[in-house]
């Protein structure tokens, strides 16, 4: 994990176009935190469930981001009972916005046929999770990159169309 962490942090700092495989919750947490830290003004999250167990662990990073001027967090989720998200919306009402959608409205990955989850920032970084069927065992299947304009734009267009 030490080499993975070092490589991720280096890529985030240098805005490197390098793809990272992500197969564990620990990887997901690290990548999520680094994507938030490397954002200038916007972080967008599409998630089937804004799980407190996960997002509470990155809450300090989200708070540090939202404490900066001219920042915003946009979330699309099916979960209306997230204490972490409710806290952020209460503390930063002008900066955090949420759209609730029906689980059937979540986009599906064409290969796994599972609902996708993703996060992207305004500096061409993203994390795309295409399978979480083994999440209870701490296993997810995802990719991430800190500088892929094409993939980030695809996710942004998808997100913006859903957020309307």
For residues 159 and 76, the answer to whether their CB atoms sit within 8 Å is yes
Q: Residue 5: which of 17, 14, 20, 15 has the closest Cα?
A: 20
pLDDT tens digits for 37-64? 999 999 999 999 899 999 999 999 999 9
pLDDT at 38: 97
Q: How many Å is the Cα radius of gyration of the chain?
A: 15
For residues 124 and 147, the answer to whether their CB atoms sit within 8 Å is yes
For residues 141 and 112, the answer to whether their CB atoms sit within 8 Å is yes
Question: Structural domain tally of the chain?
Answer: 1
Segment 85-93 mean pLDDT = 98
Portion of the chain with pLDDT greater than 70, in percent: 96
Q: Which residues contact 133 (CB under 8 A, 6 or more apart)?
A: 112, 114
pLDDT tens digits for 139-160? 688 999 999 999 999 999 999 9
Range of the domain at 15: 2-163
CATH number for the domain that contains residue 73: 3.30.870.10
* Residue 117, burial from CB neighbour count under 10 angstroms (0-12, 13-18, 19+): buried
Q: State the Cα–Cα distance between residues 119 and 124, nearest whole angstrom.
A: 11
For residues 107 and 116, the answer to whether their CB atoms sit within 8 Å is yes
Confidence of residue 133 (pLDDT cuts 50, 70, 90): confident
pLDDT at 80: 81
Other CB atoms within 10 Å distance of the CB of residue 77: 21
Q: Residue 28: which of 155, 141, 162 has the closest Cα?
A: 141
pLDDT higher than threshold 80 for residue 34: yes
């Amino acid at each position: 994990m030490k080499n993975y962490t070092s490589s991720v942090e280096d890529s985030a700092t240098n805005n490197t176009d390098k793809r990272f495989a992500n197969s564990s919750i620990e990887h997901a947490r690290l990548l999520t935190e680094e994507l938030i830290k490397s954002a200038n003004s916007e972080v967008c999250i599409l998630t089937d469930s804004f799980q407190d167990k996960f997002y509470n662990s990155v809450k300090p990073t989200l708070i540090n981001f939202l404490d900066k001027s001219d920042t915003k967090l946009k979330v699309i989720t099916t979960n209306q009972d997230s204490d972490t998200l409710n806290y952020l919306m209460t503390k930063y009402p002008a900066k955090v916005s949420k759209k609730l959608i029906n689980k059937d409205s979540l986009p599906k990955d064409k290969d796994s046929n599972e609902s996708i989850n993703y996060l992207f920032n305004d500096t061409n970084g993203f994390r795309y999770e295409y399978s979480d069927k083994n999440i209870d065992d701490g296993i997810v299947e995802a990719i991430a990159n800190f500088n892929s304009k094409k993939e980030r734009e695809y996710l942004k267009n998808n997100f913006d169309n859903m957020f309307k």
